[in-house]
Amino acid sequence: MCGIVGYIGYRDAYPILIKGLQRLEYRGYDSAGVALFDGNNINLAKTKGKVEDLSKKAKTDISLKGTLGIGHTRWATHGVPNDVNSHPHYSNSGDLVIIHNGIIENYESIKKELGKRGYTFSSDTDTEVLVNLIEEVQKTEDVKLGKAVQIALNQVVGAYAIAVFDRKKPDEIVVAKLGSPLAIGVGDKEFFIASDASPFIEFTNNAVYLEDEEMAIVRLGKEIKLRKIKDDAIAYPNILELQLNLEEIEKGGYDHFMLKEIYEQPRAILDTYRGRLLADQGIIRMAGIDDHLEKFLNANRIIIVACGTSWHAGLVAEYIFEDLARIPVEVEYASEFRYRNPVITDKDVLIAISQSGETADTLAAIKLAKERGAFVFGVCNVVGSSIARETDAGAYTHAGPEIGVASTKAFTTQITVLTLIALKLAKEKGEFSSSKFHEFLTELETIPAKVERALQSDELIKVIADVYKDSNNCLYLGRGYNFPVALEGALKLKEISYIHAEGYPAAEMKHGPIALIDEQMPVIVIATKKGHYEKVVSNIQEIKSRKGQIIAIVTEGDEQVRNLADHVVEVPETLESLTPLLTTIPLQLLSYHIAVMRDCNVDQPRNLAKSVTVE
Ligand code: M6R
C-alpha cells in the first residue's frame, strides 16, 4: 500500500522521483521520502506528510544533485506515520538504502537475531530490518548486492516490492517483487522503477512487469537481468509496449481526480463495451468468455469475490446473472472467503473483481479457488496487474487509470463488463429470445448518453449537498438492483466526507433502522420506475411520517415521488437491470460535493489508500 519509484540514467533523478511520487500518492500518502546519490554520498530526505511536504523539506535540507535515486510514498503498516518511520531506510553502515512496499511478517525474529549481532534500529519498521539483513548477508557471505538481496529474501516471509542500492556500487539498483507490483520502464540509457507505469510514461512506453518471486539488477548500460528469487533461474524480460498516455493521469482542468473520473464515465462505459457489443450483428464478443464458454455454461454456480466498491459491483452482478442468465451466484467478501474454508469444486467458476488487480485479499481468494480446482476469471481495470495475471482468463474494464481513492468509473465499468457476460451467457443458454437480446444490446448502447444526462443534475446536487453537508448520519435505501447501489452510495459518503452512512434494502428498514429516523436524518432513496416502484413509494411514506428528510433518485418525469420527497434528482429511464449504471451517478456527485464543502481531501481521504495490498 505504498508507492515506490526509482531512476538510474543520465537525467536529474530528483524531479522524476518527486513527480513520480505525486502520481503514486493514490497508493498511500502519510509520509514520503527520497534518497539521491550525488556521485559520492547518499542524500536522504523524508518526512511525515504528503509529497508536497517532502519536496519543501528536500529543497532546504539536501543537495538535489544526482542521476540515481529512489523515492517512496507510504501508507503505514508497521510503525506510526512519522519522519523516522518514513522510507527510504539506511542500513547500519549507511551504505545501503532501501524502499519497500509490503509487509515482512517475520521481521521481529530477524530483528532479534540482527540485534544479537550488534545491529541497531532507529525506526519501528520491518523495512529497516530487511535492509540490515541484506547488509549482514553481504558481509558474512561476501557477495554482491544482488546476491545478498536474493539470499535475504529467501529468509523473509511476507510481501514486497523493493528497490535498494549500494553507495559503494552506484551503477545499479536491485529490485524484487512478491505480492506487490513493480514495473521497470526501459528507456534509452536509462531505467525507471515504479509501482505502476504512471511515473515514467512521458519518458518511455516500454516496460517490464516483474512477476512474483522475481528480481532484477537494473544496471546502467546493461540489459535488465531477471532472476527467480527462489532458485536463481534466469527469467527473460517481456518488454511490453504501454498504451497509457499522459492526459489520462492528469486532472485535465477538474479540481479533483474524483470529479474528473465521475465525468469520464460516459466515455469509460463506451470504451468498455466497444468492440465487444456488436448490436447490429446481434452478438457479444469477449475472448475471455468465448474461449472458455463451456466452463461457464456447465458451471454449478458462479462465486464472485471482491472487496469494497468492487464487491458492490459483484452484488449487482448477482442480480444480473441470476435474473438474466439463470445461473446461481454467491457473492463473497474476499477477506472472509479466503479464511472460511469454503466448499469449492471444479464445477465452480470464480469471478474476481478488482479495479487495481492488486488487492491482497482478492488475490488470496483466487489462489485458494485455483488450488481447489475452480476456473478463475478476473475483471480488472489495471492491465498486467497481479490479479489479471493470476486468473485463468478475464476481461478488462477499459475505465482508464482511476486515481481518486474513491472508486467511481471502476464501478460502472465493472457493471458494464459483468452485464455483457450475463447477457452473453443468457443468450448461449437460450434464456433470451433474439428480440429480447437485441433489446438489451441496443439499450446498453444508449447508456453513455444517458449517463451524460444524469451528470447534468450536478448543479442541483450541489444545492442538495449544501443542505445536508453538516449531517452526522445518512441512510441510503434501494431495492432489487438498486440495493447494491444504496450500499455503494453510503460507502462513497463515508469514505470521502467522514459522515456515517448506512446502505439498506428499503424493505429492511422497518426491521431496525427505522428507529433512527427523525427530522435530522437525511434518507436517500432510489425510487426509479422499474423495479418495485410502488413498494419503495410505501417505504418513502413510512419515512415521511417519521419526519425523515427524503432525497429521492427517480426516473425522469416522475410525479408521485416528487410530491412526497424533499428533493428529487432525475435519471433517464432504462431497463431495470441497467438502472445501477444511472442511479449511481447522482450518489457519486452528492458525496463529492458534500466532501468538498466539508473541506475534506476528496482524492486522498484519511487512513485510506487506493490499492490495499496488505491484509
Ligand atoms: O482495487 P480493488 O477494486 O480490488 O479495490 C477494492 C476496494 O479497496 C475499493 O473498492 C475501495 O473500497 C474503494 N476505496 C471504494 O471507493
DSSP string computed for 426-484: HHHTT-S-HHHHHHHHHHHHHHHHHHHHHHTTHHHHHHHHHHHTT-SEEEEEE-GGGHH
* Residue 70: exposure state from Cβ atoms within 10 A (0-12, 13-18, ≥19): buried
Angle at 59 between CA 55 and CA 62, to 5 degrees: 115
CB 382 within 8 A of CB 276: no
Atom of ligand 1 nearest to the CA of 306: 4
User: Does the pLDDT value for residue 582 go beyond 80?
Assistant: yes
The answer to whether the CB of 385 is under 6 A from ligand 1 is no
Q: Report which secondary-structure segment, H or E, holds 98.
A: strand 96-104
The answer to whether the CB of 588 is under 6 A from ligand 1 is no
Chain Cα centroid distance, residue 361: 12
286 CA distance to ligand 1 centroid (A)? 25
C-alpha to C-alpha distance for 541 and 522, rounded to whole angstroms: 14
310 CA distance to ligand 1 centroid (A)? 6
278 CA distance to ligand 1 centroid (A)? 30
User: Does the pLDDT value for residue 231 go beyond 90?
Assistant: no
The answer to whether the CB of 310 is under 6 A from ligand 1 is yes
- Model pLDDT, residue 238: 85
Q: If one looks up domain 256-454 in CATH, what number appears?
A: 3.40.50.10490
C-alpha to C-alpha distance for 180 and 238, rounded to whole angstroms: 18
Bond from prior residue into 199 cis (ω within 30 degrees of 0): no
CB 107 within 8 A of CB 85: no
Atom of ligand 1 nearest to the CA of 307: 6
Q: What is the pLDDT of residues 135-178, one digit of tens each?
A: 999 999 999 999 999 999 999 998 899 999 999 999 999 999 99
Q: Cell numbers of 425, please?
A: 451467457
Q: Cell numbers of 215, please?
A: 528480481
The answer to whether the CB of 350 is under 6 A from ligand 1 is no
Mutation test of ligand 1: which of 26, 195, 359 has the most ligand atoms closer than 8 Å to its C-beta?
359
The answer to whether the CB of 86 is under 6 A from ligand 1 is no
Beta-bridged to residue 225, according to DSSP, are 217
194 CA distance to ligand 1 centroid (A)? 21
Find the radius of gyration of the CA atoms of the chain: 25
| Residue nearest (by alpha carbon) to ligand 1 atom 7 | 308
| pTM score above 0.85 | no
CB 508 within 8 A of CB 481: no
C-alpha to C-alpha distance for 594 and 596, rounded to whole angstroms: 5
CB 146 within 8 A of CB 174: yes
Q: What is the pLDDT of residues 425-473, one digit of tens each?
A: 999 999 988 889 999 999 999 999 999 999 999 999 999 999 999 999 9
Mutation test of ligand 1: which of 312, 335, 355 has the most ligand atoms closer than 8 Å to its C-beta?
355
Give the residue from 473, 530, 534 showing the smallest Cα distance to 507: 534
- In angstroms, what CA-CA distances link 161 with 20, 214, 222, 479? 16, 10, 22, 43
The answer to whether the CB of 591 is under 6 A from ligand 1 is no
The answer to whether the CB of 407 is under 6 A from ligand 1 is yes
Q: Report which secondary-structure segment, H or E, holds 18.
A: helix 13-24
Atom of ligand 1 nearest to the CA of 359: 4
Atom of ligand 1 nearest to the CA of 407: 16
**What single letter denotes the amino acid at residue 544?**
K
Give the residue from 257, 568, 298, 302 showing the smallest Cα distance to 418: 302
- Model pLDDT, residue 243: 78
Q: Report which secondary-structure segment, H or E, holds 369.
A: helix 360-371
- Model pLDDT, residue 90: 97
3-245, CATH topology level: Glutamine Phosphoribosylpyrophosphate, subunit 1, domain 1 (3.60.20)
Atom of ligand 1 nearest to the CA of 309: 10
CB 14 within 8 A of CB 58: yes
Mutation test of ligand 1: which of 195, 262, 309 has the most ligand atoms closer than 8 Å to its C-beta?
309
What percent of the chain clears pLDDT 70, i.e. is strictly above it?
100
457 CA distance to ligand 1 centroid (A)? 26
Region 167-191 average pLDDT: 94
**Superfamily of 456-615 according to CATH:** Glucose-6-phosphate isomerase like protein; domain 1 (3.40.50.10490)
Would strands 68-74 and 31-37 be described as parallel, antiparallel, or unpaired? antiparallel
Would strands 42-48 and 31-37 be described as parallel, antiparallel, or unpaired? antiparallel
Atom of ligand 1 nearest to the CA of 492: 16
User: Does the pLDDT value for residue 613 go beyond 80?
Assistant: no
Instruction: Name the 3-class secondary structure at 183.
Output: strand
The answer to whether the CB of 31 is under 6 A from ligand 1 is no
The answer to whether the CB of 354 is under 6 A from ligand 1 is yes
Q: What is the pLDDT of residues 263-283, one digit of tens each?
A: 999 999 999 999 999 988 889
Domains 3-245 and 456-615 share a fold: no
**Which residues does the annotation mark as catalytic?**
2, 610
Q: What is the pLDDT of residues 483-541, one digit of tens each?
A: 999 999 999 999 999 999 999 999 888 898 888 888 889 999 999 998 789 899 999 99
- Model pLDDT, residue 611: 76
407 CA distance to ligand 1 centroid (A)? 6
Q: Cell numbers 458494464 correspond to what residue?
A: 416
For the chain, what's the residue count? 615
User: Does the pLDDT value for residue 9 go beyond 80?
Assistant: yes
238 contact partners, CB below 8 Å, separation of at least 6? 208, 209
The answer to whether the CB of 308 is under 6 A from ligand 1 is yes
Q: Which of the four pLDDT bands, split at 50, 70 and 90, describes residue 475?
A: very high
Give the residue from 213, 162, 207 showing the smallest Cα distance to 384: 207
> Can you point out the beta strands (E) in 355-419?
375-380, 393-396
- Model pLDDT, residue 80: 84
Beta-bridged to residue 556, according to DSSP, are none
C-alpha to C-alpha distance for 412 and 452, rounded to whole angstroms: 13
Q: Which of the four pLDDT bands, split at 50, 70 and 90, describes residue 247?
A: confident
The answer to whether the CB of 355 is under 6 A from ligand 1 is yes
12 CA distance to ligand 1 centroid (A)? 35
Give the residue from 587, 581, 602 showing the smallest Cα distance to 266: 581
401 CA distance to ligand 1 centroid (A)? 14
- In angstroms, what CA-CA distances link 321 with 305, 443, 525, 577? 15, 18, 24, 10
CB 513 within 8 A of CB 502: yes
- Model pLDDT, residue 610: 78
- In angstroms, what CA-CA distances link 576 with 358, 524, 530, 568? 32, 19, 5, 19
- Model pLDDT, residue 164: 98
Q: What is the DSSP letter of 179?
A: B
> Can you point out the beta strands (E) in 195-339?
206-209, 214-219, 225-228, 234-235, 240-241, 277-278, 283-284, 301-306, 329-333
Q: What is the pLDDT of residues 76-96, one digit of tens each?
A: 777 788 999 999 999 999 999
What percent of the chain clears pLDDT 90, i.e. is strictly above it?
80
C-alpha to C-alpha distance for 181 and 203, rounded to whole angstroms: 20
Atom of ligand 1 nearest to the CA of 308: 12
What are the extents of the domains in the chain?
Answer: 3-245, 256-454, 456-615
Q: Report which secondary-structure segment, H or E, holds 362.
A: helix 360-371
Instruction: Name the 3-class secondary structure at 523.
Output: strand
C-alpha to C-alpha distance for 533 and 397, rounded to whole angstroms: 31
Q: What is the pLDDT of residues 541-575, one digit of tens each?
A: 999 888 899 999 999 999 999 999 999 999 999 99
Mutation test of ligand 1: which of 196, 310, 383, 387 has the most ligand atoms closer than 8 Å to its C-beta?
310
Lowest-pLDDT range, 13-17, 190-194, 249-253?
249-253
Mutation test of ligand 1: which of 75, 196, 307 has the most ligand atoms closer than 8 Å to its C-beta?
307
Atom of ligand 1 nearest to the CA of 608: 14
User: Does the pLDDT value for residue 252 go beyond 90?
Assistant: no
| Residue nearest (by alpha carbon) to ligand 1 atom 14 | 406
C-alpha to C-alpha distance for 569 and 563, rounded to whole angstroms: 13
